[in-house]
Amino acid sequence: MTDAEADRFLRRISPSAGSTVLDVGCGIGSFSRQLFRWGYDVSGLDISPAAIAIAIAIAQRKGTQERLRYGVHDFDGGVIPTVLRPGSLDLIVCRNVLPFLDHQRFLADARRWLRPGGQLYVLVRVWPERGGEPDERPWQRGFTEEQVQHLQNGWAEQERCWLGRHTALFLTSERRRTE
């Protein structure tokens, strides 16, 4: 995470005691640990058992496994884990992972998992045109500008900022109506 990304993130999203966060595609848990340091209760899920084993070992060594939990999950086909109950999350972060997922399905699931007023933070590389991703670097998958615009549809609030070749989206679910 760059200083610019951290600054934008913290200006738009501020931790509060008891906030629950899902780190999608957490890898070895670097960003999950940062979220924990900022005061969140974090669950990190990734498709790689090897990456999760490293994340768990680090959490155990640091004694943070009570509020920093990890698990293996395939967002495109796995059975939904119990941590992802409808209306159970305050924040979902998805950094450089969304282009590797069935993003329409994931966005629909994310809306369901968030509490009213909950937020989805997406960081994604933007390519100038469809097919602009380099074949020799498949890990740099991204979206076109048109696709990024489409990702913002259906959210009560949307905010976007550029971070070099990446864009950050802050998407907020609808708030519960009070009568």
| pTM for this prediction | 0.89
Smallest CA-to-CA distance from 173 within 121, 114, 88, 123 is with: 114
Predicted local confidence at residue 140, as pLDDT:
66
Q: pLDDT digits over 112-126, tens only? A: 999 999 999 999 988
Determine the Cα angle at 100 with ends 22 and 81, to 5°: 35
Q: pLDDT digits over 34-70, tens only? A: 999 888 999 999 999 999 999 999 998 887 767 799 9
Reported confidence tier of residue 146, pLDDT bands at 50, 70, 90: confident
Q: Which residue has the tokens 């489409």?
A: 150
Spatial contact of 34 and 95, defined as CB atoms under 8 Å apart: no
Instruction: Determine how β-strand 166-172 pairs with β-strand 114-127.
Output: antiparallel
